[in-house]
Structure 1
Amino acid sequence: MSDGIKWLAAWDIPVAGVVFARGMSADELAVRLGGVLRETTEPTTDGEVEHLGMRGRGYGVRGDGVVRVGEDAGWAFAVEYGDSTGADRLEEIASGRVDAVHYLPMGSRPPARFHYAKNGVLTCGFGIGEEHRRWGAEPDLLLLELIAGEVLHPDGSQNLPPSREHHTAYQERSLGVLEQRFGLSLPRAVLGEARLPAHAVRGTPAMRTGPEPDHRQIKAWAASLGLTWNDTGGRVPSHVREAWNHVARQDPKETV
């Protein structure tokens, strides 16, 4: 039995989104997002992505983006991290008789967003919780399903949740419509301990997942300062690496 996607309503993990594509492999989805297959990492968990050395987005400067890819329920999927490319490339991903879905998790304001593209055309999109405002080449593609799922009233207006209903439960109704219409599923283990190939899709993150050569040296230095972290394959957390590099520049003898 698949995990579906309704559970994404409670998604509070700092990822950039998820892309689904039907009609291609996970490897091809990674390439269409900007990845290079020969530069994939060893299978990586969600928690290990933070050790890939991604640079954050700055004013006027794009950051690094990484995706972890897999397949489930007849769809390839890509979980996005950092400054990824799914929102920018959805129509390109959907070219050539391909269906593509992008889900952007957010809070209630701004809302999470759904987009569906097919054959290279953005077909339908809306905010979760604002389904009465739809766009795309076929904005009413899911209208009947949204009404049947009690997300919208029969006249197409928003069926706002009662004050006693938690916002997450309301989002689950909308995601349930998408899950049923498209057969979407993302295994819960993907955001746990499941290991998947990771690809850089924007920028130049350090895409190594094996032990870093100076890992033990830095860990001993950090421990002398009272800094510790959960060891994940011999990788140094980015904030510790930055502190180490700073000390090395200021006083190289401190890091010898």
Structure 2
Amino acid sequence: MHDGIRWLVDLEHWMSSVVFARGISAQELAVRMGGDRDGATEPITDAEAWDLGEWYRPGQDGDGVVRVGEHGGWSFALEYGDSTGGERLAEISRDGAEAVHYVPMQEHPPATVFYARDGAELCGFGLGEEVWRWGREPDLLLPDLVAGHVLEPDGTTVIAHEREHYTDTYRRTLGVIEQRFGLSLSPAYLGEARLPAYAVRGTPDTHI
């Protein structure tokens, strides 16, 4: 079953992000995000990940954890707490790998998408703000966004979409990303499905 990633728009209380990587294993993804290669926990659920350690400490850096797995030909990492692993896309994508980082930003729209390949952050943009693109190749996904009726060929927003609810526009753009890269993630991974977790920042108590 192909779950795609458009359903991520509908998450209401999940404030972390998702990193997808192709060309490396789930364990290697965790390591490139800052984890210890031998530091995996026993497989845990999404709810159990949120119960780990002290995420935020006044005046100090917070803890960060990722749960990792493989789905649809890509490795993926779900970020929790104060993880900064998703900011390391150049490192994640080195040596011919690819990486896609989706940040929901539900309390502070827009959500953002970044794409990196072979050690370079190539393009990124905010969902609903695709007219402003950045990276080494900011127009890399422009043809896909045009084909997906997100942008006009000149890079401006499709006027007919201006009155849509932001979740509808987000879903359309995620559909473009989903199709371009063949991304898929099962909703079960944010439910009761168990995945190994790695500490990637701070000292969370990962003993379950």
Aligned-partner SS, 1:37: coil
Aligned-partner SS, 1:9: helix
What does 1:47-196 align with in structure 2 at a 5 Å threshold? 47-56=47-56, 58-59=58-59, 61-107=60-106, 109-159=108-158, 161-163=161-163, 165-196=164-195
Aligned-partner SS, 2:101: strand
Measured against aligned partners, the alpha-carbon deviations of 1:96-123 in whole angstroms (never above 9, x if no partner) come to 0000111100238430010001110000
Query: How many residue pairs are counted as aligned between the two chains?
Result: 207
For 1:152 and 1:57, locate their aligned partners in 2 and report how far apart those are by CA, in whole Å.
42
Aligned-partner SS, 2:87: helix
For 2:73 and 2:168, locate their aligned partners in 1 and report how far apart those are by CA, in whole Å.
26
TM-score (norm 2): 0.94
Gaps of 5+ in 1: 210-256
Residues 17 and 103 of structure 2 are in contact (CA less than 8 Å); yes or no, is this contact kept in structure 1?
A: yes
Among the aligned pairs, what percent are the same residue?
58
Q: Closer, same or farther in 2 for the Cα pair 1:127/1:206, shift >3 Å? A: same
TM-score (norm 1): 0.77
Q: What is the deviation of 1:166? A: 2.5
Query: Of Structure 1 and Structure 2, which has the larger fraction of its residues in helix?
Result: 1
Measured against aligned partners, the alpha-carbon deviations of 1:125-178 in whole angstroms (never above 9, x if no partner) come to 000110010011110011011011111123211225243x33211111000000
Gaps of 5+ in 2: none
For 2:106 and 2:52, locate their aligned partners in 1 and report how far apart those are by CA, in whole Å.
26
Q: Paired residue for 1:228?
A: none
For 1:80 and 1:11, locate their aligned partners in 2 and report how far apart those are by CA, in whole Å.
14
Q: What is the deviation of 1:37? A: 3.2
Q: Which has the higher contact order (CA 8 A, sep 6+)?
A: 2
Residues 3 and 184 of structure 2 are in contact (CA less than 8 Å); yes or no, is this contact kept in structure 1?
A: yes
Query: Of Structure 1 and Structure 2, which has the larger fraction of its residues in strand?
Result: 2
Which segments of structure 1 move beyond 6 Å, counting only runs of 4 or more? none
For 1:39 and 1:109, locate their aligned partners in 2 and report how far apart those are by CA, in whole Å.
33
Residues 57 and 83 of structure 1 are in contact (CA less than 8 Å); yes or no, is this contact kept in structure 2?
A: no
> How much is the aligned-residue C-alpha RMSD, in angstroms?
1.5
